[in-house]
Amino acid sequence: MGSFSIWHWLIVLVIIMLIFGTKKLRNIGSDLGGAVRGFKEGVREGTEKAASESQSASSKTIDVEAREKS
């Protein structure tokens, strides 16, 4: 059975285009691209926020004194 050749993928693509139509596929592609773009922006904002929180946390010093428990 092996892996699919390029001809198998082309036949599958033609069948999908006949079923859904090119306009609907274009809309799905743009929606998927927008979702991926939004995900990347969210990850970038999350890393920037985490970096700024770690910098602010490391700049705070807590002065404590250890005592022996009696």
Does this model's pTM top 0.85? no
What is the per-residue pLDDT for 40? 94
What is the per-residue pLDDT for 38? 94
What is the per-residue pLDDT for 8? 93
Q: Which residues contact 25 (CB under 8 A, 6 or more apart)?
A: 16, 17
Closest CA to 36 of 24, 50, 44, 21: 44
Residues 25 and 16 sit within 8 Å (Cβ to Cβ): yes
State the Cα–Cα distance between residues 30 and 25, nearest whole angstrom: 9
What string of pLDDT tens digits covers the 70 residues of the chain? 567 899 999 999 899 888 888 888 889 889 999 999 999 999 999 888 887 777 766 666 677 788 888 7
What is the per-residue pLDDT for 29? 86
State the Cα–Cα distance between residues 41 and 18, nearest whole angstrom: 35
